[in-house]
A and B are shown apart, each in its own frame.
Chain A
Amino acid sequence: DIQMTQSPPSLSASVGDRVTITCQASQDISNNLSWYQQKPGKAPKLLIFGASNLETGVPSRFSGSGSGTHFIFTISSLQPEDIATYFCQQYYSLPFTFGPGTKADIK
């Protein structure tokens, strides 16, 4: 199975700050990497697929990059509504696996 790791496990930033989350895959997954946002008590929401493609309707302050084993997720200007847990996920091969999540909070 492909193991996904994320850092940091949690972050606290001010409104307007640039926030970065990294995700590492245990083997090469090309660009088969997605990012999901999950707010408390809600289902996850797809934000980015193909490592860098923004899902329709997702604000442009969210972005992703990377390929192979190392990926980066960025919020260019943190907003109060971005308080959530963010998960990376590989869909390169079965079983599809998720990172442990990064909980983002407002300072």
Chain B
Amino acid sequence: EVQLVESGGGLIQPGGSLRLSCAASGFSVSSSQMNWVRQAPGKGLEWISVFYSGGDTHYADSVKGRFTISRDTSKNTLFLQMNSLSADDTAVYYCARGYCRSNSCYSGLFDSWGQGTLVTVSS
């Protein structure tokens, strides 16, 4: 069974840093496209980053230069290092796996999601 479990969220002061983790089971992160998607309280969904199986990464403009996506294949875990946090970064952060079926993969389509971890940026 595919499972994604995020951790690392919490209350952090503006300007601070936080590292989120997403532990995967039931599949290998090394052979999957892995993403971070966030949702501010009461708001919609915002894709923020992708780590392709080949190693390429991309970011939304809103986090570029401040956030870094990475993975540890030995731990089958995805990470999101978040620096220079502001109140606008307050959100539930989800990791999501890219959709692959029968050797066809769709970049940007998400078939499995974690339960999310809440990041609150406030003084």
> Is the pairing of A and B real?
yes
Interface residues of A (CB under 8 A from B): 32, 34, 36, 38, 42-46, 49, 55, 87, 89-92, 94-101
Contact call A101/B109, Cβ cutoff below 8 A: no
Q: Report, as a range, how many residues of chain B touch the other chain.
A: 20 to 34
CB distance from B96 to the nearest CB of A (A): 8
Binds A, one of B41-49, B71-79, B82-90: B41-49
Q: Which listed residue (A34, A43, A100) contacts B116, Cβ 8 A?
A: A43
CB distance from B20 to the nearest CB of A (A): 15
Interface residues of B (CB under 8 A from A): 35, 44-47, 50, 58, 60-61, 94, 99, 106-111, 113-116
The complex places the Cα of A91 from the Cα of B44 at a distance, in Å, of: 16
Contact call B44/A94, Cβ cutoff below 8 A: no
Q: A43-B94, A43-B116, A87-B44 are in contact. Are A96 and B111 (CB under 8 A)?
A: no
Contact call A43/B44, Cβ cutoff below 8 A: no
The complex places the Cα of A90 from the Cα of B104 at a distance, in Å, of: 18
